[in-house]
Amino acid sequence: MAVTKRLVAGLATGAVLVMLAGCGEESNGQAEPAPEAPVESSEAAPESDVADGSAELPHSGAPVVSNPLPDSVLEGAPCDVLAPDEVEMILGAQAEGAHSDLDEVGPGCRWSNPGQGSSVQVRFHTVQKEGLSANYAHTPQQVEHFEEIDPVGGFPAVEFGDAGGETGCQVVVGLSDEYSVGVDGVPGYDAANSGTDSCEVAAKVAEVVVENLKNNAGG
């Protein structure tokens, strides 16, 4: 737990977390969460051998997950993967998680700070059972930016979104060849003007999430 606390403390330095924002269009003067497409829709599998489950994993250039976590770590609710104090340090305010499940991807949870327009979302990618292979196969054609990044918590990871990370970025971490976890955010009021790299922030939050999942697995 000490590792997790250090990671969260690092995020909080300099008041991070107007960085992770969900400020999008406004309705009646109130900020609404930005739409998730194309980030989430980029995970939908096309009609192919990949879609019917006949492709051997990993495929499409995705790396092998050499030390996978057990599938059981994703059996819980995404809203339980971050402790209340971690959410507060990430967003700068207390927030209740709201379910944001996608039938074609998996269960998700979003925490928001309306006062700053900031939010963070965690999703368990469990439906397709292709792990990072689904992202390597389908995501690059649907986003401006797709890149393999340094391992997160010892697991392979990718980031993707718009070219500058200004309207949002998602980091997906392969926990096994079949399953992965995603963290995404969109720059908010202050961050959008300060040039905050939303991919870098999402990666740091992903580290917290992965460390918590490892602890749940006894790792």
Give pLDDT tens digits for 182-196. 998 765 677 666 777
Q: What DSSP string describes 138-167?
A: HSTTTSSEEEEEEEETTEEEEEEESTTSSS
Residues 42-88 have pLDDT tens digits of 444 433 445 455 579 999 999 999 999 999 999 999 999 999 999 99
Residue 149 tokens, joined? 């990044």
Q: Judging by beta carbons within 10 Å of its beta carbon (0-12, 13-18, 19+), is residue 61 exposed, middle or buried? A: exposed
Closest by alpha carbon to 150, among 183, 178, 176, 173? 173
Residue 135: predicted pLDDT: 97
**What is the separation of C-alpha 160 from the centre of its chain, rounded to a whole number of angstroms?**
10
Number of alpha helices (DSSP H) and beta strands (DSSP E) in the chain: 5, 9
**pTM here?**
0.80
Residue 191: predicted pLDDT: 65
C-alpha triplet 55, 213, 197: angle, nearest 5°: 85
| Distance between CA atoms of residues 65 and 179, nearest Å | 10
| Distance between CA atoms of residues 165 and 179, nearest Å | 25
Residues 101-133 have pLDDT tens digits of 999 999 999 999 887 777 899 999 999 999 999
| Distance between CA atoms of residues 209 and 7, nearest Å | 10
Q: Which residues pair with 181 in a beta bridge?
A: 124, 173
pLDDT at residue 140 above 80? Answer: yes
Query: Helices in 13-168 by DSSP H: which ranges?
Result: 84-91, 132-138
Residue in the block written with tokens 């998996």: 106
Closest by alpha carbon to 206, among 175, 165, 176? 175
Average pLDDT, the chain: 79
Residues 91-107 have pLDDT tens digits of 888 999 999 999 999 99
